[in-house]
Chains A and B, each alone.
Chain A
C-alpha cells in the first residue's frame, strides 16, 4: 500500500476491494506515531475507536452494504467539536477534563456517513488564542517546515491533513480559521455559507460569525466531506432550511461562461500579498480565462473596514461567551486568548451597535458587487507561513486579514493551494461565491486545481523519535 491517499482515491480503491478500511486506518495510525511528535497536530489519538470504526466499515463493505464514498475514511475533528465519551478540550486548561455526552451534529453526520474517527485535533485555545506555548499541549507545527506557523485556529487539522496523517477533518472559521491553516499548510478548506452546516455541539467563539466546515487535500475531497456535513438542523438558530445539492456532481463542468471578479485592491494595495501569492492569483486568472470564463475587476470597501467590523464583533461576542470565566479564572486561560478577548472590555455597547450597522452596509455592498459575477478571487493569506516564534500577539490589531470579509457577509469561501514561495512553503488563493452557491465555488476551485501540479507535492517529513505521544 502506498499513500498518502486522497479521499476520492481511497474510496475508489476500497470500492474495487484493493484497499481495506482497516489497512488504511492502521497506515494512518502508524504515520501518526512516526510523524506527529514533531507536528503536535493531535491532542488525542483515539486508536481503539478508529480500529473499531474501520472494522465496522470493512464488514459493511464485505457484505455489500457500504455507506458510500466516506465509508472507512480516516478523519479527525478539531477539538472544539463535541465527541460523545471522548475528551473535548478546546486546547484549554479550563476544559481539560471535559467529556461530552453527545456528538456535535456534524460529527454525528460524518460518523453516520461511515468515517473513521482518528482523534481530536489541535486548535488555538477556544479557536482564538494561538500559537500558544503556555497551554497543556503545545501548538501544532507546519509539516512543510516545523519551525513555521500553521495559522489558526484549525491548526491541527491543517497540519494533519497536509502530513497525510488523516485524509480529511473538521475545522471552524470565525475570521478565517479554516482558510488560514488550509492556506499555510498547502491544503484545501471551505467555509460554507453561514447556516449551511449546523454548529450544534461545537464550542462557540462568536455566534454571528462562526462557521463549521471541512478541510482536505483536494477540492474534490472537501466537496465529499461537505456533502455529509451540510443540512438543516432546527436546533441551530442560524441553520438554513436550504436544499443540499450534489456538490461533487458538477466539479468537472469547467468554468466556461462564468464571470469571475478579482478584488484586486485587497491583495495589491490594502494588504499587498507576497510575489508568490500574487503570481498564484495571476496564474489562476489565466487558467480560468483560457477555460472560457470572463474576468472582471470589482471594488469593495477597504479590506481593513471588513476586518475591523468583523474583529470588533468577534471580540464582543467572544467576551460575552467567556465573561464568567474571564472574571473568575482569567489566568487559567493562555495569555493570547485571555488578553486578546479582554480588549472587548474597553469598548462600549454603542460601539458594538455601530459594528453591526456597518456589517449590514458591507453585506449590501458585497451583494451589489457580486450581482453580476459568479465568484470573486483574492489572496487567502499574505504569503508563506512565518516562523511560529515570530507570530505577534496583537497581529489582529495590526493587519487586515483576507478571510474576514466572508465571515462578515456569511458568503461561502475557500482556500486552495496556488504554489510555493521563496521559502519553499505553500501560498494560496481564496475564492468566494454567493450564498448557497458552494457548487459553483467548488467547481471553479476544482478547475484551477486540476490545471496545476501543486497536488502532486507533499511535505517531505522524516520519522521522529517519540517525544510526547497523544495516544490515549
Chain B
C-alpha cells in the first residue's frame, strides 16, 4: 500500500504531463506500494564513501 494519497497521485500525474486514462491511473496507483518498498531499500543511511564524486586520474 502506498503512502501517497489519491489526490497526491493525481497531482503528480498532472505535473508529469503523462496523458494517462482512468484505467491506467487506477492500475499504476494500485502498484505504487511495491515501488515504494523498492525506494525504501535504496534510502537507508549511507557512509561518506557512497557519495557521488568526480574522479580525475592525474596525467
Residues in chain B near residue A394, CB distance under 8 A: 31, 34
User: CB within 8 Å of B: which of A320-350?
Assistant: 326-327, 330-331, 339, 342-343, 345-347
User: CB within 8 Å of A: which of B25-59?
Assistant: 27-28, 31-32, 34-35, 38-39, 41-43, 46-47, 49-52
User: Residues of B within 8 Å of A, CB-based: how many?
Assistant: 27
> Bound complex: CA of A309 vs CA of B35, how far in Å?
11
B50 touching A357, Cβ below 8 Å: yes
Residues in chain B near residue A347, CB distance under 8 A: 35, 39
Chain A min CB distance to B17 (Å): 4
B20 close to A (CB within 8 Å):
yes
Residues in chain A near residue B51, CB distance under 8 A: 357, 360
Chain B min CB distance to A350 (Å): 9
Residues in chain A near residue B22, CB distance under 8 A: none
User: Residues of A within 8 Å of B, CB-based: how many?
Assistant: 30
The closest CB in chain B to the CB of A350 belongs to B43
A308 touching B28, Cβ below 8 Å: no
A361 touching B31, Cβ below 8 Å: no
A281 close to B (CB within 8 Å):
no
A330 touching B50, Cβ below 8 Å: no
Chain A min CB distance to B23 (Å): 10
The answer to whether residues A354 and B42 also contact, given A339-B24, A398-B34 and a CB cut-off of 8 A, is: yes
The closest CB in chain A to the CB of B29 belongs to A346
Chain A min CB distance to B29 (Å): 9
A351 touching B24, Cβ below 8 Å: no
> Bound complex: CA of A364 vs CA of B32, how far in Å?
30
The closest CB in chain A to the CB of B41 belongs to A308
Per a CB cutoff under 8 Å, which of A331, A342, A346, A354 touches B43? A354
The closest CB in chain B to the CB of A345 belongs to B16
B1 close to A (CB within 8 Å):
no
The closest CB in chain B to the CB of A353 belongs to B52
Chain A min CB distance to B21 (Å): 8
The closest CB in chain B to the CB of A326 belongs to B18
The answer to whether residues A330 and B28 also contact, given A312-B42, A346-B12 and a CB cut-off of 8 A, is: no
Per a CB cutoff under 8 Å, which of A304, A330, A361 touches B20? A330
Chain B min CB distance to A358 (Å): 4
Residues in chain A near residue B32, CB distance under 8 A: 343, 346
Residues in chain A near residue B4, CB distance under 8 A: 346
Residues in chain A near residue B17, CB distance under 8 A: 327
A397 touching B34, Cβ below 8 Å: yes
> Bound complex: CA of A469 vs CA of B13, how far in Å?
41
A356 close to B (CB within 8 Å):
yes
B42 touching A339, Cβ below 8 Å: no
Residues in chain B near residue A354, CB distance under 8 A: 39, 42-43, 46
A358 touching B18, Cβ below 8 Å: no
B35 touching A361, Cβ below 8 Å: no
Residues in chain B near residue A304, CB distance under 8 A: 41
Residues in chain B near residue A309, CB distance under 8 A: 41-42
A355 close to B (CB within 8 Å):
yes
> Bound complex: CA of A309 vs CA of B44, how far in Å?
12
> Bound complex: CA of A305 vs CA of B47, how far in Å?
16
A311 close to B (CB within 8 Å):
yes
> Bound complex: CA of A357 vs CA of B52, how far in Å?
6
The closest CB in chain A to the CB of B49 belongs to A364
B50 touching A397, Cβ below 8 Å: no
Residues in chain A near residue B43, CB distance under 8 A: 351, 354
Chain B residues with a Cβ under 8 A of chain A: 4, 9, 12-13, 16-20, 24, 27-28, 31-32, 34-35, 38-39, 41-43, 46-47, 49-52
- Can you list 11 A-B contacts (CB < 8 A)? A330-B20, A342-B18, A342-B28, A346-B4, A346-B9, A346-B28, A346-B32, A354-B43, A354-B46, A357-B42, A361-B49
